[in-house]
């Protein structure tokens, strides 16, 4: 019987974006049943031996199911599952992952998962998992590995690979050098495409994400790039030098990885060559690394706004405390300072108690409004839209926008103040204080991120502490100060 096309298609395994989540649900289900059996066995203490037997039988069956399930997954999905279960279960699943996936999974997992996996592995397994890695992958992992494992693996490297490892480890994490790899195909410019095609056919496969081949001279100086597209559509008799492109983006290993990511985004690149000061090709960056950079930067920004670093949602509570307490204590100090400022007006507040209930509105809206300005500015800074030429213009515009929103908002707030206090004077003081405080928020929202960026600091986290501090303390000060002047 001949196979029909439809039947052959039935053997296709289609990855689905939701595969990993389905697998996670199955894993959790198995783990859950596993736990139930354990609990059951512990409860039936009367019939010890039989219960234990049943338990171990069922356990073995669960483990077999889990092993089959997990090892059939893409290494990235295994990594996802390891990051989505508590540590005890994580270690159990990690033991079931077959050794062939070890290297890939270790490279895919988040940093905090990797630590816990490496801790639980013995030296031999670690050496086995890492000795198959490329120099750039090893360099990424090296800081997490025990030094003797790194030493052992280094021994097995060729001289060239060792040189690359040392080079890769020398670049900062957030530089192009930190994300580049060394898997490149190089050709000379004075050969025909036919020769290139024959050369490629001798390779077992092309490096991942090869969309272009690099054209270099004898000194390894980069002369141009030959896209696979040009290679495929041009006649084999053409010379490389005729069809190669000399209009390409090249990176320096010390460029920031965020700048490189911006360039990939803007020019829709899949890979880019990295060259040194002499124009020599030393590596390449691929979109896979760039996507990780973009994602990590965006995650980091979101977390740092809340004053945290990345956290294992199943990490021991003590770790979580270290992560979260500093920021909260810092906020506590600024809140206490603001509260101390306000307490200097105790006489005013004890005379007109309603001020106590209105002052937090003034402080809060100043913070919210400043936060809007700051978010816009931080974003414009990240894209590179803010220059010396337009800073002043932006500053004026933000003050104007804030003043207009402030007029409307403070009018509403004044009505509320009048309703709650019955005093038009209090309403007017409220209005004036609120507009002032919003303008202060706008000023800080524009200036602080710009100044911090100019001094090479991260604009997000520090700026928002300063903003809250200022709008709280000054909000109280202006409101209660005006009240003291005009209402007493």
Q: What secondary structure letter does DSSP report for 238? A: S
When binding is defined by CB under 8 A, the residue of 405, 425, 432, 447 that contacts a second copy is 405
Strand partners, 256: 175
Is 251 one of the binding residues for a second copy (CB under 8 A)? yes
- Residue 7 CB partners (closer than 8 Å, separation 6+): none
Degrees to nearest 5, angle at CA 257 with 252 and 263: 80
Is 233 one of the binding residues for a second copy (CB under 8 A)? yes
CB of 5 to a second copy, least distance (A): 5
Is 287 one of the binding residues for a second copy (CB under 8 A)? yes
Is 88 one of the binding residues for a second copy (CB under 8 A)? no
When binding is defined by CB under 8 A, the residue of 128, 191, 200, 487 that contacts a second copy is 200
Is 210 one of the binding residues for a second copy (CB under 8 A)? yes
Pick left, alpha or beta for residue 381 (phi over 0 → left; psi -120 to 50 → alpha; otherwise beta).
alpha
| HSE-up of residue 250 (Cα within 13 Å, Cβ side) | 22
**Binding residues for a second copy, total number by CB under 8 A:** 151
Handedness of CA 192, 196, 201, 202 (dihedral sign): positive
Task: Write the interaction track for a second copy spanning residues 420-449; mark x where CB under 8 A is met and - where it is not.
Answer: x-----------------------------
Describe the crossing of helices 287-305 and 257-267 by its angle, rounded to 10 degrees: 120
When binding is defined by CB under 8 A, the residue of 54, 397, 425, 447 that contacts a second copy is 397
When binding is defined by CB under 8 A, the residue of 2, 49, 158, 387 that contacts a second copy is 387
Is 32 one of the binding residues for a second copy (CB under 8 A)? yes
By C-beta, is 51 or 223 nearer to a second copy? 223
Stretch that binds a second copy, among 53-61, 93-101, 115-123, 261-269 (CB under 8 A): 261-269
Helix H or strand E segment including 273: strand 271-275
Is 279 one of the binding residues for a second copy (CB under 8 A)? yes
Stretch that binds a second copy, among 41-49, 131-139, 162-170, 304-312 (CB under 8 A): 304-312
Is 87 one of the binding residues for a second copy (CB under 8 A)? no
- Residue 163 CB partners (closer than 8 Å, separation 6+): none
Nearest CA to 95 among 113, 75, 73, 120?
120
| HSE-up of residue 229 (Cα within 13 Å, Cβ side) | 3
CB of 206 to a second copy, least distance (A): 4
């Amino acid at each position: 019987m001949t196979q029909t096309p439809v039947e052959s298609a039935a053997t296709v395994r289609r990855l689905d974006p939701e595969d990993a989540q389905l697998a996670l649900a199955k894993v959790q289900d198995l783990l859950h049943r596993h736990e139930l059996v354990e609990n059951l066995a512990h409860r039936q203490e009367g019939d010890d031996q039989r219960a234990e037997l049943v338990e171990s039988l069922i356990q073995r069956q669960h483990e077999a199911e889990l092993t089959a399930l997990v090892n059939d997954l893409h290494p990235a999905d295994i990594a996802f599952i390891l990051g989505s279960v508590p540590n005890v279960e994580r270690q159990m699943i990690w033991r079931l992952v077959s050794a062939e996936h070890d290297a890939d999974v270790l490279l895919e997992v988040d940093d905090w998962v990797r630590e816990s996996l490496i801790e639980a592995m013995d030296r031999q397994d670690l050496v086995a998992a890492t000795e198959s890695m490329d120099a750039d992958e090893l360099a990424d992992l090296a800081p997490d590995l025990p030094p003797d494992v790194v030493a052992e693996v280094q021994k097995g490297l060729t001289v060239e690979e060792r040189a690359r490892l040392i080079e890769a480890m020398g670049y900062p994490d957030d530089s192009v050098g930190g994300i580049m790899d060394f898997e490149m195909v190089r050709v000379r410019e004075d050969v025909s495409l036919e020769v290139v095609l024959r050369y490629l056919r001798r390779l077992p496969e092309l490096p991942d994400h090869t969309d272009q081949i690099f054209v270099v001279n004898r000194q390894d100086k980069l002369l141009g790039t030959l896209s696979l597209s040009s290679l495929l559509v041009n006649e084999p008799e053409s010379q490389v030098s005729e069809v190669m492109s000399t209009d390409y983006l090249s990176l320096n290993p010390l460029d920031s990885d965020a700048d490189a990511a911006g360039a990939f985004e803007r020019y829709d690149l899949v890979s880019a060559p990295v060259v040194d000061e002499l124009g020599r090709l030393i590596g390449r960056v691929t979109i896979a690394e760039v996507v990780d950079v973009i994602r990590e930067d965006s995650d980091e920004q979101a977390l740092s706004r809340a004053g945290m670093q990345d956290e294992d949602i199943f990490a021991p509570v003590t770790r979580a405390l270290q992560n979260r307490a500093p920021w909260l204590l810092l906020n506590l100090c600024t809140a206490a300072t603001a509260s101390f400022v306000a307490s200097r007006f105790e006489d005013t507040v004890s005379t007109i108690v309603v001020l106590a209930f209105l002052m937090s509105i003034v402080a809060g809206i100043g913070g919210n409004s400043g936060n809007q300005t700051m978010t816009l500015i931080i974003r414009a800074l990240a894209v590179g839209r803010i220059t010396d030429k337009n800073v002043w213009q932006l500053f004026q515009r933000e003050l104007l926008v804030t003043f207009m929103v402030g007029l409307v908002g403070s009018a509403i707030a004044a009505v509320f103040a009048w309703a709650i206090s019955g005093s038009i004077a209090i309403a007017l003081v409220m209005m004036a204080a609120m507009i002032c405080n919003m303008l202060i928020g706008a000023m800080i929202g524009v200036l602080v991120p710009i100044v911090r960026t100019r001094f090479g600091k991260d604009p997000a986290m520090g700026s928002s502490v300063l903003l809250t501090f200022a709008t709280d303390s000054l909000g109280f000060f202006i409101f209660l100060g005006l009240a003291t002047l005009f209402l007493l």
